[in-house]
Structure 1
């Protein structure tokens, strides 16, 4: 004959409440999906279904009511959604800034190419035309 150890109803209730709090905060220890269901509450608490529905059905119903009151969106999920929206906006702004910089860079490349052509043309024509070199720039000291 097997002996059963006595159940600690208070510890079971504490485990259910702690599991419900963790699921609603979005910080589960045992649930992989973090869904706000009684099945996930059972998985998170480590208790069997017959134990919960037999002795602690009120806590399962309380959990379901808290989920409905939270409109099925855990606080952590809402904060992640807000952060995601903010990051999407930053990404959009960065992409727009990058597109603008690429336009500027393309214009500068065209300008450099044009100036390079002019410089080469001037070098080729330097023998034919008399070009006077400008005196070197004088550096101005601290006093002007």
Structure 2
């Protein structure tokens, strides 16, 4: 009768399957999460009880010259974030460029408004106020 495989044996077998490209119980990613799934052990078994096996797995991945999936995903995320930052910086630069023009326009409108009010205050104003174009808001 063959003894049941220990947790360490299951982890080593899972390592061999993942690194051999034949995972049975995981997606085959070169991560501790996938290794734990493949070995059917909780992740903390690798991060707390069997640190030597976790380190061995990472060493074997490194020896293969393969980039871990986590690193690949992080690198893609970094690229996307850098693009987002560049886009936001471009948008911010455009807004900073627009602000002085908008301030000038507001100041010009304010001066014109003051002039119209001054003209309305004359005994015989040359300015005739236009009726409000928007219908009044009725509350029901």
TM-score by length of 1: 0.52
Matched with 1:69 is 64
Deviation at 1:114, TM superposition (A): 1.5
Q: 2-side partners of 1:135 and 1:10: how far apart? A: 91
Do structure 1's residue 133 and structure 2's residue 128 form an aligned pair? yes
From 24, 32, 52, the counterpart of 1:42: 52
Matched with 1:91 is 85
Deviation at 1:116, TM superposition (A): 0.2
Matched with 1:24 is 30
What per-residue deviation string (whole Å, max 9, x for no partner) do you get for residues 88-134 of structure 1? 11121022112213332442222111210222133224428741416
What per-residue deviation string (whole Å, max 9, x for no partner) do you get for residues 30-57 of structure 1? 449xxxxxxx861538xxxxxxxxxxxx
Deviation at 1:81, TM superposition (A): 1.0
SS at match of 2:72: helix
Matched with 1:13 is 9
SS at match of 2:71: helix
Deviation at 1:74, TM superposition (A): 0.6
Matched with 1:111 is 105
Equivalenced residue count is 109
SS at match of 1:112: helix
Deviation at 1:67, TM superposition (A): 2.8
Unaligned runs of 5+ in 2: 19-27, 34-42, 135-140
Structure number with greater CO (CA < 8 Å, separation at least 6) is: 1
- Give RMSD over aligned pairs: 3.9
Which one has the largest radius of gyration?
1
Q: Do 2:47 and 2:54's aligned partners in 1 also have CA atoms closer than 8 Å?
A: yes
